[in-house]
Homo-oligomer: A and B are copies of this chain.
Amino acid sequence: MAPEPTPPLATIAAALRYERQRVGISLTELARRAGIAKSTLSQLESGVGNPSVETLWALGVALDVPFSRLVEPPATTVRVVRAGDGPRIRSEHADFVGTLLTAGAAHARRDVYLIELEPGRVRTADPHTPRSVEHVVVGAGRLRCGPERDQVELGPGDYATFPGDAPHRYEALAPGTFAVLVMEHP
């Protein structure tokens, strides 16, 4: 049982840079809003230094993100089942093989989409309703998708699932990419 794997020195640096650029403000502006010296913030984003809790807290408030997001590595919420992996279920009556990707949750509404994307166009999606879940199965091409901070690359037959209530993106890496997208919300 080791719930503290990574000393967060570098995590903080990466998280601060990411969250600041997500909000779209400059280092100087963020330092002003948080009420700290911009030199301090510069060093923190460079990975040097060991901020005090008050300093990091002020940055969390200014960025409007929960404190833990700045110190703990992003939770790997995306689950991938590669083509050919996963529990195989062979039908005895018909000539087909099924693979269980995700067990169906009762009383959840599911919307099914077919999405077609061309390379170079990134489709960003704002968070949906809380506790919604997205499922993707790639039909052809290559698809890069997932939560913004934890993206995965999928090929034909690959499956991925991740929460829909966090900002996430879809981006085709090859021409003629299409996928089946299931949005599940309770």
Contacts and interface: CB of A to CB of B under 8 A. Distances in A.
Interface of A: 1, 3-4, 7-9, 12, 50-54, 56-57, 60-61, 64-68, 71-72, 106-107
A50 to B, nearest CB: 5
Q: How many copies, total?
A: 2
A65 to B, nearest CB: 7
A53 B54 contact: no
Given A1-B64, A8-B53, 4 more contacts: A3-B64, A3-B66, A4-B64, A53-B71
Contact of A12 (B7, B53, B72, B107): B53
B4 A60 contact: yes
A3 B51 CA distance: 20
A72 to B, nearest CB: 6
A72 B61 contact: no
Most buried by B among A56, A106, A107: A56
A57 B53 CA distance: 11
Contacts of A57: 4, 7-8, 71
Contacts of A7: 54, 57
Contacts of A107: 106
